[in-house]
Amino acid sequence: MKFSGSYVALVTPFHEDGSVNFDKLRELALWHVQQGTDGIVALGTTGESSTMTHEEDDAVVRCVIETVNGRIPVIAGAGSNDTYTQLQKSKKYHDLGADGLLLITPYYNKANDEGMYRHFATVADQVDTPIILYNVPGRTGCSISYDCCKRLAAHPNVAGIKEASGNIGYTAKIARLVSDDFCLFSGNDDMILPILSLGGSGVISVWANVFPKDVHDLVAAWHAGDRETAKRIQLENLDLIDALFCEVNPIPVKEMMNQMGMGVGGYRLPLYEIAEKGRETVRRALEGRR
């Protein structure tokens, strides 16, 4: 499968008691189908899977896949810093019908270059579902080297990379690996346009949780050759994007969704409700949209 377009890094909505709100999750998944979102990523960083049980993870993936019902692709976050756990989750989500798997670098243990390669290749060798590598060193404390990424890009079951380093120099090197079989997704909402200009296929977006049509239209305009529209959408929304990251993700995006009346609930510790300064930043950014 060739992944392309605007993929939402979907939040996981919670009830007041902290349990997963599956009714709201279904509502959000359907809304994204209706809004033109090109695909859904469940259980990414924004989905708070790091504080959820494996059973909850499985239930979230199943819920999103069943709700979407094949209308747009669903990529399931199956990553772990334990390669065996990552493999078991990947097999489970393959069986549930995920269209792709998002696999993160091994945070905390980090690994040397060969270990990094084998962390991903172990899954790619044993699971048929296409894999998207997830490089986000600001979260994990480690990065996929260019040489390691080049080896992985040659694997027939590695379909692309979500590049969220924020380092345009590194991203440009990775862009040299883009082919019909290996795509590049922006993992930073403020860098969608620069990464598209390097040959990127699209974005896995936090911003799309609140204004999915804008993100879809930005990527679609670029691919249609309408550079001016794509640039306008990117630049006009920089203040809003900044507000979405005024505190650690996904605290601000959930706050923004709740201010918009979307009722996605709170967080699980160690994430905590937004500080008053951040709440005001989010409010002002929304006010600027009206």
Catalytic residue among 24, 89, 162, 254: 162
Does residue 287 sit in helix, strand or coil? helix
162 is catalytic: yes
∠ Cα 246 248 249 (to 5°) = 100
**What CA–CA distance (Å, rounded) separates 85 from 251?**
27
**What CA–CA distance (Å, rounded) separates 179 from 62?**
31
Catalytic residue among 7, 93, 117, 134: 134
Q: What are phi and psi of 22, to 5 degrees?
A: -70, -30
* C-alpha Rg value of the chain to the nearest Å: 18
**What CA–CA distance (Å, rounded) separates 65 from 63?**
6
92 is catalytic: no
Q: Is the dihedral of CA 66, 69, 262, 216 positive or negative?
A: positive
Active site residues: 134, 162
